[in-house]
Amino acid sequence: MAQIKNVGVYTSGGDAPGMNAAIRAVVRTALFYNLKVTGIRRGYEGMINDDMFDMDRKSVGNIIQRGGTILKTARSEQFRTPEGRKLAYENLKKAGVDALVGIGGDGTFTGAKIFGKEYDIPVIGLPGTIDNDLLGTDFTIGYDTAINTVIDAVDKIRDTAESHDRLFIVEVMGRDSGLIALRTGIAVGAEAILIPETKTDLNALYHRLEAGRRDKSSKIVIVAEGEEAGGAFEIGKLIKDRFPNYDTRISILGHIQRGGRPSCQDRVLASRVGVAAVEALLAGHRNEMVGVIHGEVAFTPFENAIKHNVEIDPNFLKIVDILSL
């Protein structure tokens, strides 16, 4: 057992539904093992600004169902500098923190990787991002809630599209990853799905829309924001030029995908990895992300988790081609 007495917990980067469930799991597991817990507000900025406080069971009462993060979150330019990280470390030591659990995505883990190597403080990461773009876990905290939010929104858009015989171009989050677009596009029966990982074939898109015009009153195209043609607005312009008689509308779902009550899956995932993170620190792990692969808890070094080479399953692309006819 590692000699750890005080675990610091923080959230960083974009918020994701289920982060509060993860905070709750970390705090209560640490207390179960008779450890102190220090909450760090606004991630790395909080370390630099010495914005920390003691946490107990009551600190995380009645938060498992809440979206967002009670610890707040921020991006820190100062932490990117050696001087900023040095100040963060000094403040952590002053607070008695001797281990960290960081909840976030690739930016969070990039900072944690550097910090953990520069200073003698073990860090364990929990995958909190709606993009599901980290290696070392089948799903990230927040992804399930986000895709269900998209499905609910697009189902409502479809009602209007049906009523007016309209084509809707719906943009979802995914600057570097098209996993939200891909799964939700299949789930809502989209005529086309455009994602960053594949080349946008405009001729194929036009063919699908032309074929659908004859026997479908409504049409939905799902576009990830990082799609190569420039997102929903650019795709919308191209479609309007090609099909001037289409009643075309554009809908940007935006940040509603990050909010809302976390789903059961996200709450359970957050609880599992939160418990595993504290136990991993006690077992001597450091500079690793905790995930769940094929139902089992797994550990992945930060440098492997953040490589951004999550591959799109070709079977999903095949399903899109078959079902969009």
- For the chain, percent of residues with pLDDT exceeding 70: 96
Report d(CA 277, CA 156) in Å as an integer: 39
Region of poorest pLDDT, from 119-128, 244-253, 265-274: 244-253
Report d(CA 136, CA 297) in Å as an integer: 10
Tokens of 4: 């750890």
User: Which residue is it, tokens 């697009």?
Assistant: 154
User: Which residue is it, tokens 């799964």?
Assistant: 183
Per-residue model confidence (pLDDT) at position 245: 83
Report whether pLDDT(207) > 60. Answer: yes
Report whether pLDDT(310) > 80. Answer: no
CA dihedral of residues 77, 82, 83, 87 (deg, nearest 10): 90
Instruction: Give tens-digit pLDDT for 175-187.
Output: 888 999 999 999 9
Report whether pLDDT(188) > 90. Answer: yes
Distances (CA, A) of 141 to 67, 73, 187, 285: 11, 15, 20, 21
**Backbone dihedral angles phi then psi of residue 301, each to the nearest 5 degrees:** -55, 145
Report whether pLDDT(325) > 70. Answer: no
- DSSP for 9-43, written as a single string: EEE-SS--TTHHHHHHHHHHHHHHTT-EEEEETTH
Q: What is the 3-state secondary structure (H, E, C) of 103-141?
A: EECHHHHHHHHHHHHHCCCCEEEEEECCCCCCCCCCCCE
Per-residue model confidence (pLDDT) at position 16: 97
Name the average pLDDT for the chain: 92
- For the chain, percent of residues with pLDDT exceeding 90: 74
Tokens of 9: 């917990």
Model confidence at 323, in pLDDT bands (50, 70, 90)?
Answer: confident
Higher pLDDT, residue 93 or 210: 93
Report d(CA 150, CA 117) in Å as an integer: 39
The DSSP secondary-structure symbol of 260 reads S
One-letter amino acid for residue 45 of the chain = E
Active-site residue set: 131
Report whether pLDDT(266) > 60. Answer: yes
Other beta carbons within 10 angstroms of residue 133's beta carbon come to 23
Where b means 16+ CB within 10 Å and e means fewer, 14-37 reads bbbbbbbbbbbbbbbbbbeeebbb
Report d(CA 209, CA 218) in Å as an integer: 10
First to last CA, the chain: 58
Q: Name the range with the highest mean pLDDT among 49-63, 157-171, 185-199, 223-237.
A: 49-63
Model confidence at 19, in pLDDT bands (50, 70, 90)?
Answer: very high
Report d(CA 108, CA 125) in Å as an integer: 8
Report whether pLDDT(265) > 90. Answer: yes
Instruction: Give tens-digit pLDDT for 114-132.
Output: 999 999 899 999 999 999 9
Report whether pLDDT(219) > 90. Answer: no
Q: What is the 3-state secondary structure (H, E, C) of 279-309?
A: HHHHCCCCCEEEEEECCEEEEEEHHHHCCCC
Tokens of 114: 């550097």
Angle at the Cα of 282 (from 281 to 288), degrees rounded to 5? 20
Report whether pLDDT(1) > 60. Answer: no
Per-residue model confidence (pLDDT) at position 148: 97
Report d(CA 100, CA 85) in Å as an integer: 14
Per-residue model confidence (pLDDT) at position 290: 98
Other beta carbons within 10 angstroms of residue 254's beta carbon come to 11
**Average pLDDT rounded to a whole number, residues 197-214:** 79
